[in-house]
């Protein structure tokens, strides 16, 4: 090594000297060079080290010149940054062994700690937190001192704590401070770090670490409960959205509409068509595409619903089993029609900008589209409830549900109410399709996957009661998501189906059954 130092001619400055060491083709020199270059603060340091990592750093042993081959094929002199036409004949890639590769990685981590890009600094801090390389401590300290961004500063502090915790010669009080910093972080990685702590720690530190692990564990368990609850709410809102139209057609009218899922699908395809038109004609309106699609989907699906009621279902009142078969046939026809018109493959429906992305709440991530769907579902539910309670149509609908003959005697045009009620239920299914197009594949089979679930929700919640549907949807959603981690997705779903089947034995009319004197509904 000494010999190497003598051989290298003192060219211009220390940085150039360090770079020239790469050309010695000795692992020990290369290691020294990495350390010197990385700590030089020179803007060329980062490209040199990353080139070394990727095998793009070449050196000419004869001239002691070092070159970087950039990713676009250009070659620059590593010491000066000047562009060179071509590599000299004797140039060969600088060799690395496994130990050096680790050094390179650590050096890169340290380099990016000082990067001007905040996202890179944050990522570097996270990687240091995981690797807790001892020799990065000075870099982390200086980065911590310079940092102005609050969350990155926090990340640096955590990275520093991780290093200190694993540093053999750190004092006990420093280590205890480090444990408390890591404990405050409180996530899976913090726990992994603390449990990875060797047994050779002073007893005080080991005890603090153990209690921190326990506290993080209970904290994480709580967050995973919160996360399951959120997923459950989200699934429940999807179920509610799909089932709410069915709660009207099945719950209020007693019509088994197996083509309900296809109404959802039609709503989703309406969204697709609206977005296509907007994309080609008025691209600036794209963020409003869903707002435009909601009323359109309601009208399209509702119109088709009225058409179905007038042409098929009204002939089958009082024959629910036949209605079931006829509407199943209808669902086959509608599916095949959409398949013929739009093709059997999934169609692309985009998220508007206000629905994409996510934010963190504590330890869980909440995506905007799920949040919006939850809000949207509750809004639809509230509007529907208000409509049933405060409008004339709502009054007539309730009258017809409670006693059809009496309502007819009071002068309510029951057949018109039937058509409008069915249209309303179908229209709401169409609206559900708009929302579901944001989280599900828009394909001709979209509806099929929801129809059994929707029936389960309505039957579970109690027929003829919207509140029952709400409670049913969220109960099933949350129960499903809490069962999933225990039993797996498919078994969880099977368990839910079996539980509903058993539940129906206990309460054949659902959670919130309508009270009545009829022997058979």
Partner 1 sequence: MTPHILTRSLDRAATTFILIVAGLGVLIPLSNLLMPQGSMFQVPTYLVALWGKYVCYAILALSIDLIWGYCGILSLGHGAFFALGGYAMGMYLMRQIGSRGVYGNPILPDFMVFLNYPKLPWYWHGFDMFWFAALMVLLVPGLLAFCFGWLAFRSRVTGVYLSIITQAMTYALLLAFFRNDFGFGGNNGLTDFKDILGFNVQADGTRAALFLLSCAALIIAFVICRAIVTSKLGKVLIAVRDAESRTRFLGYRVESYKLFVFTLSACMAGVAGALYVPQVGIINPSEFAPGNSIEAVIWVAVGGRGTLVGAALGAVVVNYAKTFFTSGPLAPYWLFMLGALFILVTLLLPKGIVGTFNAWWEPWKTRRTTGLAADEESAAREDGIGAPNPAE
12 binding partner 1? (CB under 8 A) = no
**In angstroms, what is the minimal distance from the CB of 334 to partner 1?**
8
Alpha-carbon Rg of the chain, whole angstroms? 33
**In angstroms, what is the minimal distance from the CB of 265 to partner 1?**
14
**In angstroms, what is the minimal distance from the CB of 412 to partner 1?**
22
Alpha-carbon distances of 346 from 137, 168, 268, 293, rounded to whole Å: 52, 57, 11, 19
Alpha-carbon distances of 457 from 345, 378, 477, 512, rounded to whole Å: 29, 16, 10, 12
332 binding partner 1? (CB under 8 A) = yes
HSE on the CB side for 107, CA within 13 Å?
27
Comparison of 150 and 506: residue with beta carbon closer to partner 1: 506
Binding mask 252-291 for partner 1 (x = CB under 8 A): ----x-----------------------------------
Comparison of 269 and 455: residue with beta carbon closer to partner 1: 455
Our CA angle for 313, 316, 322, nearest 5°, is 105
330 binding partner 1? (CB under 8 A) = yes
322 binding partner 1? (CB under 8 A) = yes
Judged by CB under 8 A, the chain residues 124 through 143 that form the site for partner 1 are none
State how far the Cα of 34 lies from the Cα of 49, in Å rounded to an integer.
7
413 binding partner 1? (CB under 8 A) = no
**In angstroms, what is the minimal distance from the CB of 349 to partner 1?**
24
91 binding partner 1? (CB under 8 A) = no
Which residue in the block uniquely carries the two structure tokens 């982390």?
140
State how far the Cα of 148 lies from the Cα of 356, in Å rounded to an integer.
29
- The one segment of 31-39, 70-78, 166-174, 497-505 that binds partner 1 by CB under 8 A: 497-505
**In angstroms, what is the minimal distance from the CB of 455 to partner 1?**
5
Q: How many Å is the maximal CA-CA distance in the chain?
A: 112
State how far the Cα of 228 lies from the Cα of 315, in Å rounded to an integer.
46
> Considering only residues 455, 468, 474, 480, which one is a binding residue for partner 1 as defined by CB under 8 A?
455
**In angstroms, what is the minimal distance from the CB of 298 to partner 1?**
25
383 binding partner 1? (CB under 8 A) = no
HSE on the CB side for 91, CA within 13 Å?
21
Binding mask 340-379 for partner 1 (x = CB under 8 A): x---------------------------------------
**In angstroms, what is the minimal distance from the CB of 501 to partner 1?**
5
- What is the 8-class DSSP label of residue 290? H
62 binding partner 1? (CB under 8 A) = no
Comparison of 259 and 274: residue with beta carbon closer to partner 1: 259
- The helix/strand/coil state of 507 is coil
329 binding partner 1? (CB under 8 A) = yes
516 binding partner 1? (CB under 8 A) = no
**In angstroms, what is the minimal distance from the CB of 158 to partner 1?**
41
Q: What is the 3-class SS of 46-115, one letter each residue?
A: HHHHHHHHHCCEEEECCCCEEEEECCCCCEEECCCCCEECCCCCCCEECCCCHHHHHHHHHHHHHHHHCC
- The one segment of 28-36, 239-247, 333-341, 478-486 that binds partner 1 by CB under 8 A: 333-341
498 binding partner 1? (CB under 8 A) = yes
Comparison of 168 and 505: residue with beta carbon closer to partner 1: 505
What would the two tokens of residue 453 be? 């679930």
337 binding partner 1? (CB under 8 A) = yes
318 binding partner 1? (CB under 8 A) = yes
Binding residues with partner 1: total (CB under 8 A): 44
316 binding partner 1? (CB under 8 A) = yes
State how far the Cα of 94 lies from the Cα of 228, in Å rounded to an integer.
51
Which residue in the block uniquely carries the two structure tokens 């009545």?
516
Asked if 251 contacts 244 with a C-beta cutoff of 8 angstroms, the reply is no
Which residue in the block uniquely carries the two structure tokens 């429906």?
349
State how far the Cα of 80 lies from the Cα of 67, in Å rounded to an integer.
10
- The helix/strand/coil state of 126 is helix
508 binding partner 1? (CB under 8 A) = yes
**In angstroms, what is the minimal distance from the CB of 272 to partner 1?**
21
> Considering only residues 85, 89, 200, 520, which one is a binding residue for partner 1 as defined by CB under 8 A?
520
392 binding partner 1? (CB under 8 A) = no
Q: What is the 3-class SS of 304-347, one letter each residue?
A: HHHHHHHHCHHHHCCCHHHHHHHHHHHHHHHHHHHHHHHCCCCE
500 binding partner 1? (CB under 8 A) = yes
Comparison of 328 and 482: residue with beta carbon closer to partner 1: 328
> Considering only residues 27, 286, 288, 328, which one is a binding residue for partner 1 as defined by CB under 8 A?
328
Comparison of 17 and 484: residue with beta carbon closer to partner 1: 484
DSSP run (H or E) holding 366: strand 364-367
φ, ψ (nearest 5 deg) of residue 80: -115, -20
Comparison of 43 and 318: residue with beta carbon closer to partner 1: 318
Comparison of 331 and 401: residue with beta carbon closer to partner 1: 331
Judged by CB under 8 A, the chain residues 217 through 256 that form the site for partner 1 are 256
Alpha-carbon distances of 55 from 62, 71, 78, rounded to whole Å: 20, 11, 14
What does the binding site for partner 1 look like in residue numbers (CB under 8 A)?
256, 312, 315-316, 318-326, 328-337, 340, 452, 455-456, 459, 490-491, 493-494, 497-498, 500-502, 504-506, 508, 519-521
């Amino acid at each position: 090594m000494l010999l190497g130092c003598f051989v290298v001619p003192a060219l211009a400055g220390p940085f150039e000297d360090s770079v020239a060491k790469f050309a010695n083709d000795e692992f020990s020199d290369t290691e020294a060079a990495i350390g010197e270059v990385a700590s030089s603060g020179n803007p060329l340091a980062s490209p040199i080290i990353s080139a070394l990592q990727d095998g793009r750093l070449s050196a000419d042993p004869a001239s002691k010149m070092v070159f970087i081959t950039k990713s676009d094929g250009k070659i620059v002199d590593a010491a000066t940054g000047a562009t060179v036409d071509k590599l000299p004949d004797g140039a060969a890639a600088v060799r690395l062994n496994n130990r050096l590769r680790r050094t390179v990685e650590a050096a890169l981590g340290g380099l990016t700690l000082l990067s001007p890009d905040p996202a890179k600094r944050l990522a570097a801090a996270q990687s240091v937190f995981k690797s807790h390389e001892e020799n990065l401590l000075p870099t982390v300290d200086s980065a911590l001192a310079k940092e102005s961004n609050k969350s990155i500063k926090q990340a640096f502090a955590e990275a520093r704590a991780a290093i200190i915790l694993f540093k053999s010669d750190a004092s006990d009080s420093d280590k205890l401070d480090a444990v408390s910093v890591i404990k405050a972080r409180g996530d899976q990685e913090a726990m992994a770090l603390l449990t990875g702590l060797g047994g050779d720690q002073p007893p005080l530190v080991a005890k603090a670490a153990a209690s921190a692990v326990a506290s993080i564990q209970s904290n994480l368990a709580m967050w995973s409960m919160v996360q399951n609850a959120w997923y459950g709410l989200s699934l429940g809102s999807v179920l509610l959205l799909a089932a709410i139209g069915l709660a009207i057609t099945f719950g209020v009218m007693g019509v088994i509409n197996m083509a309900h899922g296809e109404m959802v699908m039609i709503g989703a395809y309406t969204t697709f068509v609206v977005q296509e038109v907007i994309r080609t004609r008025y691209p600036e309106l794209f963020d409003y595409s869903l707002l435009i699609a909601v009323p359109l989907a309601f009208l399209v699906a509702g119109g088709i619903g009225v058409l179905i009621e007038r042409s098929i279902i009204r002939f089958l009142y009082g024959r629910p089993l036949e209605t079931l078969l006829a509407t199943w046939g209808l669902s086959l026809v509608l599916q095949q029609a959409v398949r013929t018109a739009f093709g059997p493959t999934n169609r692309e429906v985009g998220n508007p900008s206000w629905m994409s992305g996510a934010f963190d709440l504590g330890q869980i991530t909440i995506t905007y589209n799920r949040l919006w769907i939850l809000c949207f579902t509750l809004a639809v539910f509230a509007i529907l409830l208000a409509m049933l309670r405060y409008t004339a149509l709502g009054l007539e609908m309730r009258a017809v549900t409670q006693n059809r003959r009496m309502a007819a005697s009071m002068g309510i045009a029951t057949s018109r109410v039937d058509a409008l009620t069915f249209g309303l239920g179908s229209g709401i299914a169409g609206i559900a399709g708009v929302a579901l197009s944001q989280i599900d594949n828009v394909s001709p089979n979209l509806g099929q996957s929801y129809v059994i679930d929707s029936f389960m929700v309505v039957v579970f919640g109690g027929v003829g009661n919207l509140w029952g549907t709400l409670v049913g949807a969220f109960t099933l959603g949350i129960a499903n998501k809490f069962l999933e981690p225990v039993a797996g997705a498919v078994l969880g779903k099977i368990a839910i189906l079996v539980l509903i089947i058993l539940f129906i034995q206990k309460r054949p009319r659902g959670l919130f059954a309508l009270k009545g004197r009829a022997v058979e509904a």
